[in-house]
Structures are given as C-alpha cells and as structure tokens.
C-alpha cells in the first residue's frame, strides 16, 4: 500500500540523573563527593533512503522513541548515553511540527536530527568548590524533545507523467524505464505513483507516473488531485494525450 501522509509521535531520550555520593574509605575521615553525571538522552534522527517510497510503515509504528540516558554512578561514573534512534524515511519526506517545516530530506542518506535528547544532570562531584566541600545536591536529567511530527512524502522525480486516465502513461514508463507498472485498457489502472529509472547516456533520470486526472479532479472527482504532490518537485512535466480515439 502506498501512503504519502502520516503522523508520528517522536520522543527523544531523557537525560540520566546525576547522583549524590561520597567516597567511603576506611582511613579517610571525610570522603569527598564522587556522584557521577547522568548520560545524555538519545536523539531521534531521520535518515533518507532511496529504498523506500512510502510512509506506510509509520501507520503501524506511530511512536518513535530514543533511549534514555543512564543515571550517574558512584566513584564519578558517568551514566551511559542513550542510543540515538535512526529512522529510515523515503527520499522526499517533509517533516512538519505544528505546521512548520523542520526538515526536508531530499538526498539519499541525508540525516536530520528531529528531536534532541535531554542533557544529563550533574552529579554532586560537579558542585564541589573551595567553599563547598560537601555538596549534597545533584541535578535531574532534562527531558528529551517530544512532539507530534507530521510527515508528507513528495517524491523527488526528474520527470512527471501527467494526463487523462488511459492515455498511455504507464505504457510509456514501461518502455523508457526499468519500471513494470500495471497497464490495462480501462481508466484508473494506476492508483498509486510508479517510479522508473531511465538511463540516458551516462546519467539516469527518475520518472514518476501518477494516476490519471479528469476534469473536476481538483474537486475530488476521479482519484482527486492529491497525487500531484509527487510531481510538484519534478523539473519537467510530460503530458500524454491519446491522439486517436476508437469508438
């Protein structure tokens, strides 16, 4: 199934807490503070990949959480940082937060931090000074960023094939590229975009074939016009017309 919009809850890891601890050694009267700092919370990172072309996975995984940082330990032990969560998204994914674009992943392997992990808290060892030899305070870790991210996929093709249903768009794509789209002699054979790669000299171009448009599509007729988002960013449109109408 092809899905080009999705909402996911992203939650970066919480920073670990710093702790209060003092050295306890037999021959040392008053041990100094040795409470370690908490580790940093993991980030939620989106990574674009050419191997995906739908946001379908996010329908089943609506919550994306990175790991929390661990608390600090005795003997100045620094808490372990939380692992970053790396989430693969299709190239062409736009991420919004409250309607504002915060990321547009247009390149293969591009990575963007979507939600930042919280800072770990300082342990009491951090607060030792000449005037404060026995600090009994430590900080709590900070929460990671969390919010609902709105995802929209706008495929990034070089050429967009547009036309009435049954005009021969998918046939054209099947001839000039490696794609094997469904072809049939009825309207709306193509229900979701097909992508094909065509080799041109030493280069290759990406071609998108989208469902046919009929008059009134902007008002929802046929399959509507929402699929136009996938050819919004193409450099070239190719309009296909049927020259001979059999009757």
Q: Which residues would be at the binding site for ligand GTP (CB under 6 A)?
A: 163, 165-171, 183-185, 187-190, 211-212
- Which is closer to Mg ion, CB of 117 or CB of 193? 193
Residue 216: CB atoms within 10 A of its CB come to 11
Supply 47's token pair. 């990574």
Q: Which does 171 bind (CB under 5 to 8 A by kind): Mg ion, ligand GTP, none?
A: ligand GTP
Q: Which does 185 bind (CB under 5 to 8 A by kind): Mg ion, ligand GTP, none?
A: ligand GTP
- Which is closer to ligand GTP, CB of 102 or CB of 206? 206
Supply 55's token pair. 């946001």
Q: Which does 95 bind (CB under 5 to 8 A by kind): Mg ion, ligand GTP, none?
A: none
Least distance in angstroms from the C-beta of 228 to ligand GTP: 14
If one asks whether residue 166 binds Mg ion (CB under 5 A), the answer comes out as: no
- Which is closer to ligand GTP, CB of 143 or CB of 168? 168
Phi, psi of 42 (to 5 degrees): -70, 150
Least distance in angstroms from the C-beta of 206 to ligand GTP: 17
Q: Which does 167 bind (CB under 5 to 8 A by kind): ligand GTP, Mg ion, none?
A: ligand GTP
Counted residue by residue, the chain has a size of: 247
Q: Which does 202 bind (CB under 5 to 8 A by kind): ligand GTP, Mg ion, none?
A: none
- Which is closer to Mg ion, CB of 81 or CB of 190? 190
Applying CB under 5 A, among 189, 192, 197, 225 the residue interacting with Mg ion is 189
- 92: Cβ contacts below 8 Å, ≥ 6 apart: 48, 105, 106, 153, 154, 155, 156, 233
Taking Cα atoms as reference points, which of 201, 198, 210 lies closest to residue 238? 210
- Which is closer to ligand GTP, CB of 3 or CB of 183? 183
Residue 202: CB atoms within 10 A of its CB come to 5
Supply 113's token pair. 């931090």
CA distances 211 to 1, 26, 188, 198, Å, are 15, 79, 6, 20
Supply 172's token pair. 């054209």
Task: Work out the angle at residue 154's Cα, subtended by the Cα atoms of residues 153 and 157, and round it to the nearest 5 degrees.
Answer: 135
- Which is closer to ligand GTP, CB of 66 or CB of 161? 161
Applying CB under 5 A, among 190, 208, 223, 231 the residue interacting with Mg ion is 190
Q: Please give the residue ranges that form the binding site for Mg ion (CB under 5 A).
A: 170, 189-190
């Amino acid at each position: 199934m092809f899905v080009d919009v999705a909402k996911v809850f992203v939650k970066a890891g919480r920073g670990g807490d710093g702790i209060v601890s003092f050295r306890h050694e037999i021959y040392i009267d008053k041990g100094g503070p040795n409470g370690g700092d908490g580790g940093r919370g993991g980030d939620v990172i989106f990574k674009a990949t050419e191997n995906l072309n739908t946001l379908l996975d996010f329908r089943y995984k609506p919550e994306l959480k990175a790991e929390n940082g661990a608390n600090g330990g005795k003997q100045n032990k620094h808490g372990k940082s939380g692992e970053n969560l790396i989430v693969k998204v299709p190239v062409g994914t736009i991420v919004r937060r409250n309607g504002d674009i915060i990321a547009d992943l247009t390149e293969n392997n591009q990575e963007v931090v979507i939600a930042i992990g919280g800072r770990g808290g300082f342990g009491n060892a951090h607060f030792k000074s000449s005037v404060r030899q026995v600090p009994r305070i430590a900080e709590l870790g900070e929460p990671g960023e969390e919010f609902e991210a709105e995802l929209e996929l706008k495929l990034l093709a070089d050429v967009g094939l547009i036309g009435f249903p049954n005009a021969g768009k998918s046939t054209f794509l099947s001839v000039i590229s490696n794609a094997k789209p469904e072809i049939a002699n009825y309207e709306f054979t193509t229900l979701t975009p097909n992508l094909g790669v065509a080799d041109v000299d030493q280069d290759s171009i990406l071609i998108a074939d989208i469902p046919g448009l009929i008059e009134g599509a902007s008002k929802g007729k046929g399959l509507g016009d929402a699929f136009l988002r996938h050819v919004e960013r193409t450099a070239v449109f190719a309009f296909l017309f049927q020259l001979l109408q059999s009757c």
